[in-house]
Amino acid sequence: MTREVVCDYCGKTAAFVTGRKIYPHRPDLSLLHFYQCEPCKAYVGCHKGSNGVPLGRLANAELRAAKSKAHAAFDPIWKGRSMSRGSAYSWLAKSLGIPQQECHIGMFNIEMCEQVVIACELRAQS
């Protein structure tokens, strides 16, 4: 059961595709599902076994790079076991001044991803 995922960049409906289309050089990803807006080169993966629930919002190359930087700054906080994942997201939500239920890097825009990096850097300095 796929969903209608609309591209934030052009307003068109994204296609439901497999990893073969997004990552033809990665056989390990070939059976995973994605939504893709081909004209914008934007895509988002789906939760495994979810029948098409996207992991976040469609992202072009610039937003994917920003999300990668945000995860690189944030993930060590909980993967290093200094906090649980839930506690880390609670801390991040408070640091960003947003409700915890809205705190998901997969849904963030470039500016919010940059704020994640800043918050994590400030935490590391204290």
Residues 30, 79 within the same domain: no
- Per residue in 35-76, pLDDT tens? 999 999 999 999 998 889 999 999 999 999 999 999 999 999
- Segment 73-83 shows an average pLDDT of 92
**Domain, as residue range, for 76:** 61-125
What pLDDT score does 43 carry?
Answer: 97
The DSSP code sequence of 44-88 is: EEB-TTSSS-BSS--B-HHHHHHHHHHHHHHHHHHHTTSS-HHHH
Residues 65, 48 within the same domain: no
- pLDDT at position 8 over 80: yes
What pLDDT score does 115 carry?
Answer: 98
Residues 53, 67 within the same domain: no
| Whole-number percent of the chain with pLDDT over 90 | 91
What is residue 5's DSSP assignment?
A: -
Could you tell me how many helices (H) and strands (E) the chain has, helices first? 4, 3
**Total domain count, the chain:** 2
Residues 29, 85 within the same domain: no
Residues 33, 51 within the same domain: yes
